[in-house]
């Protein structure tokens, strides 16, 4: 910033904060691009002409918007003096708001953080069967769930503001064979699901088993129209030699849909159960497992921002 405490706010200074600077609040608050942009109404922080005099109303709009963003990222206790209603009047100087420049930059840097989440919307349970006859041949079952946003930007705003999709195996039961019991452990304990965030997933939900692969860095912005494997887990507790059987969670999108760097409006979760060929005839139990899955939606908190991601469908 060119200004210092007590000086008149120049148009270039103001525009740098709201729109033209490397780190500006408009890029975070409004449409933005890729990981920038919460999709909020940015009418209070419009760019002004280079010859304009910044009014008290314009400066108040900037600090008001900045405080909303600070509240979303870190909570109200970190807002600049005055909170949401700062009460700036004509003739006020910038002396009381010396941290505006610093906090604008901090919000831009930490834009994917969030102080709180909204209320979790528990998904509908979907039950599918994994059934193989007593055989030594290899088998595979896939269970697919799909999440649909209104647009690519709706998805982008959801994830940028802290939204989370939680894929979860909510139940598994079997017909009593040893191989079925092993799959129940794989589904119900070893790989119970995963979270999709903007740029990470936090790793698999589940414990034990043999971790063939896990991709904790994969989030919404890593998705493409080709499956990305979030986790692949083999059994480590099979009664017989079924340790080569595994379950895998793949996630993909329908690819870029808009003009602002989204990664798709539809996200597909595929749970894969793989039974490799078993040449030893002593180890060929039938498999008859019922698996129940759901996708929970954890939306961003709307304490400081509005819901612009809309209705999210799950099938």
Q: Are residues 155 and 264 in the same domain?
A: yes
Residues 94 and 139 in one domain: no
pLDDT at residue 2, as a whole number: 53
pLDDT at 88 over 80: no
pLDDT greater than 50 at residue 94? no
Q: Are residues 67 and 164 in the same domain?
A: no
Domain boundary among 78, 109, 140: 109
pLDDT value of position 90: 54
Question: Do 170 and 294 fall within a single domain?
Answer: yes
Identify whether residues 70 and 142 lie together within a single domain. no
Instruction: Tell whether the model's pLDDT for residue 27 goes beyond 60.
Output: yes
Residues near 246 by beta carbon (within 8 Å), at least 6 away in sequence: 186, 212, 232, 233, 234, 235, 273, 274
Q: What is the per-residue pLDDT for 141?
A: 87
**96 pLDDT higher than 60:** no
Q: Of 83, 109, 135, which residue sits at a domain end?
A: 109
Burial (CB count within 10 angstroms: exposed 0-12, middle 13-18, buried 19+), residue 89: exposed
Are 105 and 131 in a shared domain? no
Given this model, what pLDDT does residue 84 score?
45
Assign 16 to helix, strand or coil: helix
For 275-303, the pLDDT digits (tens) are 877 777 666 677 888 999 999 999 999 99
Do both 27 and 61 map to the same domain? yes
E-assigned strands of 136-286? 139-148, 164-174, 193-196, 204-205, 210-214, 228-234, 246-253, 266-275
90 and 145 in one domain? no
Asked, for residue 84, whether it belongs to a domain, the answer is: yes
**Domain that includes residue 72, residue range:** 11-109
**Considering the entire predicted model, what is its pTM?**
0.89
Domain count, the chain: 2
Q: Cβ atoms within 10 A of the Cβ of 25, count?
A: 27
Within a domain: residue 119? no
pLDDT of residue 87: 47
> What strand order describes the sheet that includes 126-132?
126-132, 287-298, 164-174, 193-196, 204-205
pLDDT in tens, 203-215: 888 889 888 998 9
Residue 142 lies in a domain: yes
Query: Does residue 121 lie within any of the structural domains?
Result: no
Q: Is residue 120 part of a domain?
A: no
């Amino acid at each position: 910033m060119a200004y210092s405490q007590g000086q008149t706010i120049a148009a270039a200074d103001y525009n740098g904060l709201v729109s033209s600077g490397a780190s500006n609040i408009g890029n975070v608050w409004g449409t933005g691009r890729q990981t920038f942009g919460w999709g909020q109404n940015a009418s209070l922080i419009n760019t002004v002409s280079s010859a304009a005099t910044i009014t008290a109303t314009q400066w108040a709009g900037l600090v008001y918007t900045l405080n909303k963003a600070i509240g979303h990222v870190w909570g109200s206790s970190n807002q600049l003096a005055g909170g949401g209603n700062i009460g700036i009047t004509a003739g006020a100087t910038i002396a009381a708001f010396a941290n505006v420049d610093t906090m604008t930059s901090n919000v831009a840097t930490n834009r994917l953080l969030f102080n709180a989440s909204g209320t979790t919307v528990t998904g509908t349970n979907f039950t599918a069967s994994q059934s193989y006859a007593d055989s030594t041949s290899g088998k595979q079952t896939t269970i697919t769930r799909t999440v649909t946003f209104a647009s690519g930007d709706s998805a982008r705003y959801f994830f940028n503001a802290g939204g989370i999709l939680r894929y979860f195996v909510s139940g598994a039961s079997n017909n009593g064979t040893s191989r079925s019991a092993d799959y129940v452990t794989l589904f119900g304990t070893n790989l119970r699901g995963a979270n999709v965030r903007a740029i990470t997933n936090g790793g698999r939900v589940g414990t034990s088993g043999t971790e063939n692969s896990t991709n904790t860095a994969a989030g919404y912005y890593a998705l493409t129209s080709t499956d990305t494997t979030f986790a692949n887990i083999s059994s480590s507790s099979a009664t017989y030699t079924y340790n080569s059987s595994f379950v895998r969670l793949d996630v993909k999108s329908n690819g870029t849909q808009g003009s602002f760097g989204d990664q798709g409006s539809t996200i597909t979760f595929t749970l894969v159960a793989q039974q490799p060929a078993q040449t030893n005839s002593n180890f060929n139990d039938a498999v008859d497992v019922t698996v129940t899955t759901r996708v929970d939606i954890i939306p961003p908190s709307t304490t400081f921002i509005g819901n612009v991601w809309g209705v999210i469908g799950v099938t």
